């Protein structure tokens, strides 16, 4: 089905927002609004919710609906909202995609269905079915480390040909050759976003459209500035910033995302750092390494036993 879609605003640093919880384990709506205002004031180019960093598998379907509607309302047209709609259940994914469209989201982020380990033909059928159900632009989310299956470039090309509103991919596969093949096979106008923090700069150099980096939760200005520098052709400065960000990019993934990110946001006073089981707060040794990686960023950390806290 041919559809005219406008994906022109989907560029740059689209922050994959955490889902903050109150001490009573409810979504902290006030914190969500505050985080979005702070992100946009700091230069983030877009907001994404209920992706991996938003703990979607720990949210009820109703809570995911709430986060999507809340993000659209709080952003108020100031930047695009990329709504995480994907699950491993087709009916639930279709439902969330309809919710996102009705709420006024700018695009749907649809993860490769996890746990089921479908074939490439199954992935093609699933993602085309979702895309054909909506008038929204669709960004596919390929993250083999979470889904146990890798969406291949040639499969992505067939999906785009069958469903032109599939406009991009959030690529969280560590093989940069695959990124080059996607842009070669699917088309250089296809929007490839880095979903790997340490690969944001390399993907921009290959022709990527931007990044969806968990680090932007902590350093929104700097992560957005990386894209801005690349767009301005200031590659040496962008490369320097890449290496300056690298220690924190790595430290934030010493344990499962978003545990370390929420820990740091808690230190910063932005949120209550609660996670939902089975995720638990980072171990003390990881907290110490996080604090060390934050030393260059003027972010105060608590005094940690044996660590460099402020």
**Which residues have a catalytic role annotated?**
141, 170
Tell me phi and psi for residue 167, to 5 degrees.
-100, -10
Rounded-to-integer distance, Cα 280 and Cα 40, Å: 29
Q: How far apart are CA 106 and CA 150, in angstroms?
A: 26
Measure the CA angle with vertex 278, ends 272 and 282; round to 5°: 55
DSSP reduced 3-state for 217? helix
Distance, CA of 112 to CA of 189 (rounded, Å): 21
In terms of Cβ atoms closer than 10 Å to its own Cβ (0-12, 13-18, 19+), residue 76 is: exposed
**Pick from 9, 39, 59: nearest CA to 216:** 39
């Amino acid at each position: 089905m041919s559809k005219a879609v406008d994906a022109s605003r989907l560029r740059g640093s689209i922050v994959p927002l955490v889902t903050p919880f109150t001490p009573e384990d409810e979504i902290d709506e006030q914190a969500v609004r505050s985080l979005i205002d702070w992100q946009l004031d700091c230069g983030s180019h877009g907001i994404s919710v209920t992706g991996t960093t938003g703990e979607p598998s720990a949210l009820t379907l109703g809570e995911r609906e709430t986060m999507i509607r809340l993000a659209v309302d709080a952003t108020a047209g100031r930047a695009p909202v990329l709504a995480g709609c994907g699950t491993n259940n087709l009916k639930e994914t279709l439902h969330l995609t309809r919710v996102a469209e009705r709420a006024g989201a700018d695009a749907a982020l649809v993860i490769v269905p996890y746990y089921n380990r479908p074939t490439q033909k199954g992935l093609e059928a699933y993602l085309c079915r979702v895309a054909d159900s909506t008038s929204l632009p669709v960004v596919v989310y390929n993250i083999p480390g979470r889904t146990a299956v890798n969406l291949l470039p040639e499969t992505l090309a067939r999906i785009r040909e069958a469903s032109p509103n599939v406009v991009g991919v959030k690529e969280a596969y560590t093989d940069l050759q695959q990124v080059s093949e996607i842009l070669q096979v699917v088309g250089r106008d296809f929007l490839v976003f880095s979903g790997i923090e340490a690969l944001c700069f390399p993907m921009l150099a290959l022709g990527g459209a931007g990044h969806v980096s968990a680090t932007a939760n902590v350093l929104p200005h700097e992560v957005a500035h990386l894209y801005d520098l690349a767009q301005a052709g200031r590659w040496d400065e962008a490369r320097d910033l890449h290496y300056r960000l690298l220690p924190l990019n790595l430290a934030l993934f010493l344990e499962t995302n978003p545990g370390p990110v929420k820990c740091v946001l808690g230190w910063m006073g932005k949120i209550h750092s609660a996670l939902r089981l089975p995720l638990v707060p980072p171990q003390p040794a990881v907290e110490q390494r996080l604090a060390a990686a934050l030393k260059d960023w003027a972010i105060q950390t608590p005094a940690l036993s044996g660590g460099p806290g402020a």
